[in-house]
Structures are given as structure tokens and as C-alpha cells.
Amino acid sequence: MVMNCPICGKKHDVKLKRRKASSTIKGEKVQYDEEYFACEEVKGDNEFATAAIENANLLRARNAYREKMGLLTSDEIVKIREKYGLSQVDLSQALGWGEATISRYESKAIQDSAYDNVLQLIRINPLILYYLYIQNGAVLNKNKEGVLMQRIREELLASGREIIARDKLESFYITYNEATIENGFKCLDIDKLETIINYLAKKIKNLFKVKLMKMLWYVDILSFQMNNRSMTGLVYQHATMGALPIGHDAILQLDNVSFLEEMSPDYDNVKYHIIYNEKLDLKGLTKDERNIIDSVITKFNSMNTKEIVDYMHEEEAYKQTNDGEIISFEWAKSLNKF
Ligand SMILES: [Zn+2]
């Protein structure tokens, strides 16, 4: 690179060189790659570096220390941040840290191990970032929060890590963490959902998955009609067989939901027969809630899957929405007479 050489004072081509160097950081001796310029016009003391090169050397030395001590390197911190689509300030705030914290860790300062632990955790488990974010007061604006929640969900699905069904179901609802018309002004309540499913399973002999999903929708939409609030906080989508809650597979996998896999008579399909789980008590339901669930049971108890699907197909909520569309609780207004 041609430059005004500070060693000989002339303008000429100077080569950037690289060598192994060592340095002592926080009492630890570390080896790193050092870069420098050398003027070949002069013998002896002919080395120099620009401020940018000195900074880069310092960063490499500190990263060598981090690697030696098992801390994240600055590049790894950048990657974690980018994975979640956040700026340095946003990630700092999301974690409840001072605004400049991430910027310092990415550029020069070596992070304390407590901070490093948090960053390592959110690297492995997106749900931890989610929980910390909520705990720290959900400080980002709605646009940024939307991006973050979407990224968390994608990372969670892509991670393929073993997550318990409850986490899995929650991950589907990360983007519905506020009371809106889509969830019937209630955030997902998994304990309540498990109790309702168990209550239904206790009272209905032939409770199969599709029928259960329809009954949950009727429980929620009736609850909304009466109290302006759904019961479970599930969000339903328009599917061929009627309303289907987001994360329906994860619902069946919940710890307190029990089912038997049964073959249909033509041996082509496995049917999920939901059965009563005696371990879970049903005290979590109020009298009002039981009344609503009982009215749904009375209405559909004797219907088979096809009959309840046909019934749902006559609802405006179904007729006026398209495949995959979220069925808003607005439709409670035009629910067919119960
Ligand atoms: Zn020179």
C-alpha cells in the first residue's frame, strides 16, 4: 500500500506483515497474530502501525484471551446479536444492560463472566432471550419487537433442540404475547388449557383430536361472546376442518394431556383419542367457565367428527375467512345460535 512512510519520510509502497506475538492480559499470557508495517528503505528500527492496525491487534489479543478462558469472542457476540436481528443498543436494552454494553464487548472490552454466561445461554436457547426480554420490561418498540419475536421463533424451530412441549407451545405464541382480538384479549394460559382439555376428556367418551380442537374454539368464542375474553388464549386459523389452534400438535404433547393412538377402521389413519388424566384436578375452572364448557359439551357430545366439522362449516367465522387466515374473535358476533 502506497503511503507517506513515517520512518523514512518518503512516499512509497509499504507491505503489511503478520507475525506471532504474545501479551499478558489479566495475568494470562496469550499468543495472537500481530500485524505491522515495515519500511524496507531503512535498516534496523523500521516498524510502524496505524491506529486502526493497533486496535485490530489489541482486539486479536483480547480474543485470544477470551478463547483461552472459554469466553465468547467479539465475533461470536456479533453473530449472536445478528442472529436475533438486533442492533448493539437494542440487544443491550433487551437484556436490561447499559446501552453501550454490547458495543464495548464487540469492539474492545472483555466481558465479565456473568455477562458472558447470559450471552452463551441466549446463543443456545432462544427462549432464554424471550424470557429475559419480557422480564426486562419488553423495552423495544413494536416493530423491533415484532422482528425479534419472529427471529426467536425461527431460531427455536431451527435449533431442533429438545424442548418440552410447554416451551414448544409457548414458542408458537411468542408473537401473540399481548391481549388482542386475535387471542380473544387473553394471553395463552397453558394451565387453563390443560384443565379444560381434561374436563372435556372426563365428560366425553369419544374425544378425538379434531373434535377437541373444534370444541376448544367453541369454548373460547362463547367465552368471548359472554365476557369479551377467551378462556385459553389460543389463536385459531382457518383450516379445511374448521378452526384449528396454532401449535395444535404441541397441545397434544403437553405433560398433562393424555391420549391413545388408535387406528381408524380402514387402517390408514392414526386417530388421537384424548383420555382423562386423573392426576390433574379440575379445580382450576370457575363456575362460569364450567357453565360455558358444559354448554359446549351438551351441544356436541353426541356429534362425531364429521358432524361437528359440518356444523363449524356453517359458521360465518369459517365462511368469511380463507385457508390459513387467523379467525378473529370479532366473529363471536355472528356465531350461529347455540
Ligand atoms: Zn519508508
Q: Where are the domains of the chain?
A: 2-69, 74-161, 190-334
How would you classify residue 335: left for phi > 0, otherwise alpha for psi between -120 and 50, otherwise beta?
beta
Q: What is the mean pLDDT of residues 293-303?
A: 96
- In this predicted structure, the answer to whether residue 266 has a pLDDT above a threshold of 90 is no
Q: For residue 221, how far is its CA from the centre of ligand 1 (angstroms)?
A: 81
Rounded Cα distance between 263 and 272, Å, is: 9
pLDDT level of residue 168 (50, 70, 90 thresholds) = confident
Q: For residue 1, how far is its CA from the centre of ligand 1 (angstroms)?
A: 12
Report the DSSP pairing between strands 2-4 and 11-13.
antiparallel
Q: For residue 19, how far is its CA from the centre of ligand 1 (angstroms)?
A: 20
pLDDT digits (tens, 9 = 90+) for 3-46: 999 999 999 999 999 999 999 999 999 999 999 999 999 988 99
**Tally of CB atoms within 10 A around 143:** 8
Which amino acid does the sequence have at 120?
A: Q
Rounded Cα distance between 95 and 137, Å, is: 10
Q: For residue 44, how far is its CA from the centre of ligand 1 (angstroms)?
A: 12
Q: For residue 136, how far is its CA from the centre of ligand 1 (angstroms)?
A: 55
Q: For residue 10, how far is its CA from the centre of ligand 1 (angstroms)?
A: 6
pLDDT level of residue 160 (50, 70, 90 thresholds) = low
Grid cell locating 93: 436494552
Q: For residue 212, how far is its CA from the centre of ligand 1 (angstroms)?
A: 81
Q: For residue 171, how far is its CA from the centre of ligand 1 (angstroms)?
A: 61
Q: Residue 286 contacts by C-beta under 8 Å, 6 or more apart in sequence? A: none
The secondary structure element, H or E, covering residue 29 is strand 28-38
pLDDT level of residue 250 (50, 70, 90 thresholds) = confident
Q: For residue 9, how far is its CA from the centre of ligand 1 (angstroms)?
A: 6
- In this predicted structure, the answer to whether residue 187 has a pLDDT above a threshold of 60 is yes
Q: For residue 58, how far is its CA from the centre of ligand 1 (angstroms)?
A: 24
Q: Which residue has 379444560 as its cell numbers?
A: 196
pLDDT digits (tens, 9 = 90+) for 116-128: 999 999 998 888 8
pLDDT level of residue 260 (50, 70, 90 thresholds) = very high
Q: For residue 46, how far is its CA from the centre of ligand 1 (angstroms)?
A: 8
237 by DSSP, 3-state: which?
Answer: strand
Q: For residue 56, how far is its CA from the centre of ligand 1 (angstroms)?
A: 22
- In this predicted structure, the answer to whether residue 236 has a pLDDT above a threshold of 80 is yes
Q: For residue 40, how far is its CA from the centre of ligand 1 (angstroms)?
A: 6
Strands (E), 101-177: none
Q: Which residues surround ligand 1, an ion (CB under 5 A)?
A: 5, 7-8, 39, 41
- In this predicted structure, the answer to whether residue 57 has a pLDDT above a threshold of 70 is yes
Q: Report the mean per-residue pLDDT for the chain.
A: 92
Q: For residue 31, how far is its CA from the centre of ligand 1 (angstroms)?
A: 28
Percent of the chain with pLDDT over 90: 73
Q: Which residues pair with 244 in a beta bridge?
A: 237
Grid cell locating 336: 350461529
Rounded Cα distance between 313 and 297, Å, is: 18
pLDDT at 142: 85
Cβ burial, residue 185 (10 Å; 0-12/13-18/19+): middle
Cβ burial, residue 194 (10 Å; 0-12/13-18/19+): buried
CB 216 within 8 A of CB 188: no
- In this predicted structure, the answer to whether residue 264 has a pLDDT above a threshold of 60 is yes
Q: For residue 50, how far is its CA from the centre of ligand 1 (angstroms)?
A: 14
- In this predicted structure, the answer to whether residue 279 has a pLDDT above a threshold of 90 is no
